[in-house]
Amino acid sequence: GSLSPILHVLPLQLLAYQPCVPPPSCVTQQIVRMARAADPDGIRTIGVLTKPDTIEDSDHEPWVEVLDNKRYHLRLGYYCVRNPSPGELSSNMTLEEAAEKEVAFFSTKSEFRRAPANVRQRYGVAALREALSQELVVLAQRELPKLRQSVDMALAQVRLG
């Protein structure tokens, strides 16, 4: 079949993905509906566009609007990554080579270079990795005190019982 861009929506508790046609119809797909149901305010969901190299030249503008968080706003926003193709994977491409190819892709495609700076800083696996790391720290700082309190309460009950 033909390749098409894929929009992954990552609620921090659920990884979900679905092949996506150019917006705005992609926001009506089941995965986006599921993400909205799980996270109606979009506060823990990260959108990730993959396969940007399959976007037709005439279809870039709507995708830039998605990446710029102007369609289906998410507090954590959207990222765009270019992963190795099946052929590149079968040629035993290293992670370093994949990262170099991704950087070269975003720096040479004029449609991506012309995007606003806030969109360009969200290109690449490294940017997504950094964002996920930061969110994990925030999540741990928020949830660990609750976990500790639950453990302390359970220990107290065991000691009394």
* pLDDT of 129 over the 60 cut: yes
Model confidence pTM above 0.85: no
Chain segment 103-118, per-residue pLDDT in tens: 999 999 888 888 999 9
pLDDT tens digit string along 12-71? 543 334 445 556 566 556 667 777 888 887 778 888 888 888 887 777 888 888 889 887
Q: What is the CA radius of gyration of the chain?
A: 19
DSSP string, 11-26: ETT--EEEE-PSTTGG
Q: 3: which residues sit within 8 A by CB, 6+ positions away?
A: 51, 54
Structure confidence at residue 91 as a pLDDT band (50, 70, 90): very high
Which residues on adjacent β-strands are paired with residue 80? 49, 123
